[in-house]
A = this chain, B = another copy of it.
């Protein structure tokens, strides 16, 4: 029997390593949901498509590929923002949307969920992805599906696949076009770039590597580790790239992001006479809102498809080839200027003191173990977390560039599905929690046990130092009481250090469901990184 288009799509997802999909059903995608239900892939229904998009993005970041399945427009457009974030931060997310059937479209009728015409949604996703396909032809559908998966993986960015519902059960013709042409470096340019880079690094007194998130996305942690082992060059990480290099490693300096970083890290990195930027997107956040002081003349910058040495650029030099070549070079053994290696802050000794941001992060740091992954939402949750000491084998995930509030709770669901042995520890502000926090309901439904720490400072704390007003206030929820309404979890209200200690202990032992720890903080308490950051952002918000 000929395989149907939907069966092929589901089978190919499995072959690519997708074991869970995230979504909300609707009448234009019911056949597809039914196909998933009959397959070994688990459907994880979220409360809202926004949650599905974020969860699938997080799943893709951990698993190497992920998928979100939604209905036409009313579902798809709610996932547009998650697709945008996946694009900006290079996450290989497959967005699959049901759509009105081909035969239903005759004479352009006003079918429910339609906006301007039947192509509105696919045109929108062209702006947010590296490829779009409508599976409206059984002869080309297999090639289109394969091409979309290949594009998502090559660019580590989202693609969009639309399936008209009357095509879901149509028999699919075999794929004919084979893999994408290989994406290879220009060999001569590669050799020249490597030669020049090796010479500059070898001549430099104080070379430093700045490692970014693209190393994670393109699976280059091993070559990076090999390069550091052979060369001994100290390594800092960007905020987005935090945990891409093991933080316990003696060559690890800490997180670098201009004024956001610890002073010692900033000083060491900025005094480098040869900064080797590897897979580090030069975003405003990674650059500490341009407080970073990087000398372009003495830097070497490897991005996905090119290398810049000083002010000139070698095109068509792939990052993986460049780093592989550097990692194989026979580096001379040298001693570099010593630095303060980041240390675990040690145990937290709670007292009957009111909780502060500083105490919270110290406490969290003492609480973390190797089986945890920290997921930080934008805001002080992220800035405070950038100084956490993430031990070997542990992980860190944050949308530190696109910075969409409300990512972290749904992301915990995607992370747990992709890495069931890890326990998500979510750090999220109160404003962000009110956006998507009810997705803890999804965690409960699928037996997941995230620990969600809500940093409650009564509103949008990141914005207050830029320009304050009543618009930065939000309603005061009793977050812990959500456990009464949403099943499968426990809530804790925390005002003092001792209460925090007790809550963390109980949350750790609550292995079968979610835990929510509501930490009451002073309205104006913030991490020192955030203080520096918002001072800079404030100048710009006021047009500076």
Instruction: Mark A residues whose CB is within 8 Å of B.
Output: 25-28, 30-31, 33-34, 36-37, 43, 45, 47-48, 50, 73-74, 77-78, 80-81, 84-85, 87-88, 101, 104, 109-116, 120, 123-124, 127-128, 165-166, 168-169, 281-285, 401-406, 434-436, 438, 441-442, 444-445, 460, 462-463, 466-467, 469-482, 484-488, 537, 540-543
Contacts and interface: CB of A to CB of B under 8 A. Distances in A.
B434 A48 contact: yes
A406 B26 CA distance: 13
Contacts of A284: 109-112
A503 B533 CA distance: 50
A73 to B, nearest CB: 6
A472 B484 CA distance: 23
16 contacts: A25-B469, A27-B540, A30-B466, A31-B542, A34-B471, A74-B85, A80-B81, A87-B115, A116-B128, A123-B127, A168-B543, A441-B477, A475-B488, A478-B484, A478-B486, A481-B481
A34 B471 CA distance: 8
A399 to B, nearest CB: 9
Contacts of A404: 74, 113
B463 A30 contact: yes
Given A78-B50, A168-B543, A541-B165, A475 B441 contact: yes
Contacts of A116: 87, 127-128
Shortest 7 CB-CB contacts between residues of A and residues of B: A77-B81, A481-B485, A110-B283, A481-B484, A47-B434, A30-B467, A48-B435
Contacts of A467: 30-31, 33-34
Q: Give this chain's copy count.
A: 2
Contacts of A282: 109-110
Given A124-B127, A404-B74, A471-B37, A27 B485 contact: no
Contact of A540 (B85, B104, B109, B127): B104
A166 B110 CA distance: 41
Contacts of A165: 540-541, 543
Given A467-B31, A541-B31, A543-B31, A128 B110 contact: no
Contacts of A406: 48
Contacts of A166: 543
B110 A127 contact: no
B74 A403 contact: yes
A50 B50 contact: yes
A214 to B, nearest CB: 12
A87 B116 CA distance: 8
Nearest to A484: B481
